[in-house]
Structure 1
Amino acid sequence: MTAAPRDTSATLGRVAVFAALIIVLGTVVVPLPGGVPITGQTLGVMLAGLILGPRIAPLSIALVLALAALGLPVLAGGRGGLGVFVGPTVGYMIGWIVGVVVIGLLMRTGRFTWWRTALAALVGGVAVVYAFGIPVQALVTGVPIDLTALSSLAFLPGDLIKVTAATLVAVALRRAYPRAFPDRRIPTTPVPA
């Protein structure tokens, strides 16, 4: 019976740490025309999915979004309040939730390798987030979806850098501290290059 509270405390701690990481990375902002800035927050989203997995990572995203809904300035550029949930970035925020689940599920499909890590971050952290963000941005801004998708190419170089950074951090953490990853079924042998 004593294991459950400790596990719950550890889980809550992980949720809070990754929510804080996502918030801090939101201070890295490059404004772009169209209302959707380039931010560091998606790096935090990728790391949450890679490290926390498909069950716990969405809780970190939900915590960030709940704090934003309460009006706290936790989103990129210090934004918060209910207004952000009707703006051009809302689709991307929904994509974060689905994206971390996809990342976590892809990481559970086999052995932990650097290429699986990079693929999971790319698919869940970029493709899934764009799949939700671009249509909603087009709807909110009234810009045709093809033009919105074209303008979103401005995000791609930065997102590829974030995929690389997330992969490097996750692989290094897996080598140095495998217990950070909640899924104990995956062997903790050294990560093949």
Structure 2
Amino acid sequence: MTSTTSLSRNGARSMAQVSLFAALMAVMGLIPKIDLPLGVPITIQSLGVMLAGVMLGPWRGLQSMLLFLAAVAVGLPLLSGGRGGIGVFLAPSTGYLLGYALAACITGAVMYALQKSPQLSPRRTAIHAFVAALIGGLIFEHLFGMLGLMAMAKLSFAQAFKATLLFVPGDFLKCILCAVIVHTVARGMPDWRFGGRHD
């Protein structure tokens, strides 16, 4: 009975966290976007992808982004600028959008691996978060974005690579901000299971 209760509580906690980070993405969508000529706007929502991965781990990070994208697909205007609906997945930005789920998963997997360190501190956890966000939330997210630009905007690899470079400075700053947020959480909530560790 105790084991069943524990599993039930863990399941409820996981569902709550997944829903929370999907909602966080929606809130970030209220922040105005910056439109670029290539059809892919600059938004703050990529920070939400990074945070979902480092805070929840690969599986729940993936789930939270899939939940968010499903809400967008059914028409809820949750993307920056009040965008939503199937049409947004047929635009040049489709690679970045579909990459949200995969990037969160990769970010979470990297964070999980790094958090196996025997000596963890808020500072070290923040460094791990920066590295995970850099690999999953910046490198892989932009790789998916490039594939989308090549498929939807018919750009060459070189053109897509040059286009995505416009986002790198801002996303690098988001990696730093992600690490700062994680450091704060690690100090205030030392039992938080970053990267899904110990789940």
Q: Which is bigger in relative contact order (C-alpha 8 A, separation at least 6)?
A: 2
Compute the displacement of 1:46 (Å): 0.3
Matched to 1:147, the amino acid is Q
- Taking the aligned partners of 2:69 and 2:197, their CA distance within structure 1 comes to 29
The counterpart of 1:157, out of the listed 156, 161, 169, is 169
Moved more, 1-10 or 124-133: 1-10
Distance in 2 between residues matched to 1:38 and 1:74, nearest whole Å: 15
CA–CA distance in 1 between the matches of 2:170 and 2:189? 28
Matches within 5 A, 1:31-110: 31-109=35-113, 110=116
Secondary structure in structure 2 of the residue aligned to 1:76 = coil
Say if 1:174 and 1:181, in contact at 8 Å, map to a contact too.
no
Distance 1:30 1:24 in 2: 17
Instruction: State the partner residue of 1:147.
Output: 159
Unaligned runs of 5+ in 1: 187-193
Contact 1:26 1:41 in 2 (8 A): yes
TM-score by length of 1: 0.90
- 1:190 aligns to what? none
Extract unaligned runs of 5+ from structure 2.
none
Deviates more, 1:71-80 or 1:108-117: 108-117
The residue identity in structure 2 corresponding to 1:11 is S
User: How many residues matched?
Assistant: 186
How far does residue 84 in structure 1 lie from its aligned partner after superposition? 1.2
* 1:15 to partner: Cα distance: 0.7
Deviation at 1:136, TM superposition (A): 1.3
Residue 150 of structure 1: how far off its partner (Å): 0.6
Structure 1 segments of 4+ aligned residues over 4 angstroms from their partners: none
User: What is the root-mean-square deviation in Å for CA atoms of aligned residues?
Assistant: 1.6
